[in-house]
A and B are shown apart, each in its own frame.
Chain A
């Protein structure tokens, strides 16, 4: 039996399991410390002048080249520079999951990923999930189950869910809850999110 409530411990367990699961969040975890340093530096008076670097991102199958401050996060690159506002900034701390995107097929928290580290990689966001008018099975399942209220967490939930199914971490309800626990939903649409992922899992397997 797992007990879940001590906040810090819960977080650690979740992280450990997620990391064991070999997800892109490992990279995110490591960046957290690294990035924390930059954040600090940014606030200080003696901040060094920004160094601009050229960053190439293949976003939803299209090549983009940006000239970015080397400290810009992938989330800001997407939202502010690529004009893709589907990925949301819930906390900017790597703790809510609203900014989840895929980098080379793995889910990462884009607020904890420097855009520069995604240079030359494939970035998939919520905007690129549907094929034309045809929704991805996970998107369709979220509509079918009304798996949201305010919808602010939804893009992150869906990107996480797509990866979760691919990782084969959606086999049981308990698995889904565990491997989706990095995606907070304050409206607590959790029961419907689990139901949607179950439906989508079936659809992806069949399809």
Chain B
């Protein structure tokens, strides 16, 4: 038994909620001991796979003869014909063949795969196949898709009031922006290792955000029940949405070859193959008509969003929906209409990427605000403020989004007030204007942009999660939940929740690899919802066990329920103090179950898609950023001088992890809008398919002066520990960098000019915009 002194010295556990604890794998990462899929010791007889890809964006396959592929060392060749079940690796609706059948729809599409003793042999064997194509014309942009009426989903509209009233406004204009896509460039490429087991079972290590879907798709492909397939993921070397649906294809190919060869098969895509074969962030073309008054108050707005979905639906409909949801960003649109086209193109099927369409919708809105300010000759901040959703909810009519949800938790005005002060906004605005008056070649720019990001899967069904918690006789705890770890620190956060419920130190909690045989039917770890959902599910499991322990203590010691308390020093039972381990042992001896599942579903959400009205989000996460840039107007090159980020994570579950997410999200957003350019040639071949030509930010590209702070405040909804999701929202803080560049470009032209800067703002695009405003 512990004594009172212990109680006093142990004021709190080590690693409870809200503490800045390092990542649970920190010590493994720095020692090179963290195991990723490619590091797993391969099972005996493991084979290696290679996939042959289509060289054409659109073609008929006239002939496919793989008989010559069977060279020594080759153990299996799989084509579409060899698949016993369904030849499809698509989420939601179909359209993503594992192997092409009679037609190829993008350059890079998988045609067939070979498993051999080495990748070299597999590659050599694949080259021996005879494939004859008849090339067909390809649609390569949204414009042509709309003309040809080729879509991957129905055109969808969200509206409120009557947007045509904008025609009566004093000021009106039409504008448009092209927004580029983005490759995920997770540092660990796509990979899977599939092993056939006894009695028709399969095990698959997959670098996936969605093990349950991979499980289901493998089963469907092999025409076997789901219970024969187990999918496991220890950790991913980054994912960012790129392993939400895209990992399935890789895992299915590995499993198909394992099925055929009856041997373990590993498929690890080369970087080039990865970039050619897997989907990216959707490029968008967004145009608008807007009407506003002298104050810059928007009186009516009509957006048209055209998403380049690529060759299949994948998750495009949900992504395009989210682009619509965030067409307002933080502003009350009033009379408004948002029309969305989900365009089919003969390109790789675009997919989830941190922000899931939100960033594109939001960028267009911020562009509109910037344009209004420039036309009226006002500071964009002034325009932002008159258009904000009413923060106090006093003006009931200025709180409803264009999809009928009431914004109840708006804190953006407070965030503005704080960041304008800490970021010295007004003073720097003046200094920059002064600088630009005297500096001919170098121009500076400044922008402050906000973020309001809706948290929940917009498909209500997906907002559920499960967890499995075991307490062992020695008082240690093993935790498994449906979420996957991709660097976001989810396992650490959920383990902190568990430590907190039992009031034990974090090192007593071990999170095991995500495994479909432990927690079934999980949703993807996506939509920033990982800790919201899995944290709550784990909490539920722990509370069940804790309640059992309490009930046991009540009976065993004959005390009142209220007098059994879990404290950092141990479990207090009346005056006595037992260590957690002692109570657990006692409970075990008395035959109390020490294991439980937990389940959670997000409350309050209710989205009626056919009517385009309802509450798709549980709550919103907010933030704002100020970025300052200096541009060389002769070359279009630039440097970011300073960035101030203020972001709302509710009550932080772990400030160290949250700050990392905010910094990383911002930099990734800046990369998307500046140096990361995807370029397809006229034949529809992606030519930026390696880091030599596709430039993600390096350590030199981050702002020289980089200040990141957490906004102080609880989530007003009852989330885990009143925290807020943090994965995606900060990415959109990067919009401030783009608009800062635009601000500097505007300084090259006449007052009121509207620089036609397109995204990404590569030096070439910056130069084009400078030339346009100088013309």
Contact = CB atoms under 8 A, between A and B. Distances in A.
A1 B639 contact: yes
Interface in B654-698: 656-657, 660-661, 663-664, 666-668, 671, 674-675, 677, 690-693, 695-698
Interface in A22-43: 42-43
A74 interface: no
Interface in A184-206: 184-194
Interface stretch (A51-59, A86-94, A112-120): A86-94
Contact of B33 (A86, A93, A143, A158): A86
Contacts of B698: 10, 14, 177, 181-182, 184, 190
B664 to A, nearest CB: 4
Contact of A188 (B22, B488, B635, B664): B664
B699 A90 contact: no
Nearest to B268: A89
A190 B188 contact: no
A146 interface: yes
Nearest to B487: A150
Given A93-B692, A135-B30, A177 B489 contact: no
B619 interface: no
A98 B187 contact: yes
Contacts of B637: 3-6
Interface string B345-381: 0000000000000000000000000000000000000
Interface size class of A (residues with CB under 8 A): 35 or more
A14 to B, nearest CB: 8
Interface string A148-159: 111111110010
A167 interface: no
Interface in A1-22: 1-7, 10-11, 14
A10 to B, nearest CB: 7
B489 A149 contact: yes
Most buried by B among A1, A3, A79, A125: A3
A122 B257 CA distance: 40
Nearest to B33: A86
Nearest to B630: A1
Contact of A184 (B32, B187, B240): B187
Nearest to B271: A91
A151 B34 contact: yes
Contacts of B664: 149, 187-189
A186 B656 CA distance: 18
B712 interface: no
Interface residues of B, number: 75
Contacts of B35: 85
Given A3-B638, A152-B36, A186-B238, A181 B187 contact: no
A181 B700 CA distance: 6
Contacts of B671: 188
Contacts of B157: none
Contacts of B34: 151
A202 B53 CA distance: 51
A95 interface: yes
Given A4-B639, A188-B664, A190-B702, A150 B675 contact: no
A188 B33 CA distance: 21
Contacts of B25: 151
B404 interface: no
B31 A191 contact: no
Given A95-B690, A181-B699, A189 B36 contact: no
Given A153-B187, A188-B663, A126 B487 contact: no
A4 to B, nearest CB: 6
A126 B32 contact: yes
A127 B34 CA distance: 11
Contacts of A152: 36, 186-188, 237-238, 487
Interface in A62-82: 79
A146 B23 CA distance: 7
A142 B30 contact: yes
Contacts of A98: 187
Contacts of A146: 22-23, 26, 656-657, 660
Contact of A91 (B120, B238, B691): B691
Contacts of B630: 1
A88 B695 contact: no
Interface string A134-174: 01000110111010111111110010000000000000001
B37 to A, nearest CB: 11
Given A4-B637, A5-B763, A91-B690, A96 B699 contact: no
B188 A150 contact: yes
Nearest to A180: B699
Most buried by A among B39, B486, B639, B691: B691
Contact of A90 (B187, B706, B763): B187
Interface in B87-139: 120, 123-124, 127
A5 B674 contact: yes
A142 B187 CA distance: 18
Nearest to B187: A152
B488 A149 contact: yes
Contacts of A176: 699
A90 B188 CA distance: 6
A152 B188 CA distance: 7
Which 10 A-B pairs give the minimum distances between C-beta atoms?
A86-B32, A150-B487, A152-B237, A126-B32, A149-B487, A151-B29, A3-B637, A188-B667, A7-B695, A85-B39
Given A10-B698, A189-B663, 8 more contacts: A3-B638, A10-B695, A89-B38, A125-B32, A135-B31, A149-B23, A154-B30, A183-B699
22 contacts: A2-B639, A4-B637, A4-B639, A4-B701, A7-B693, A7-B695, A85-B35, A93-B692, A126-B32, A127-B32, A130-B31, A139-B30, A143-B30, A146-B22, A148-B487, A150-B188, A152-B187, A177-B699, A178-B700, A186-B184, A187-B238, A188-B664
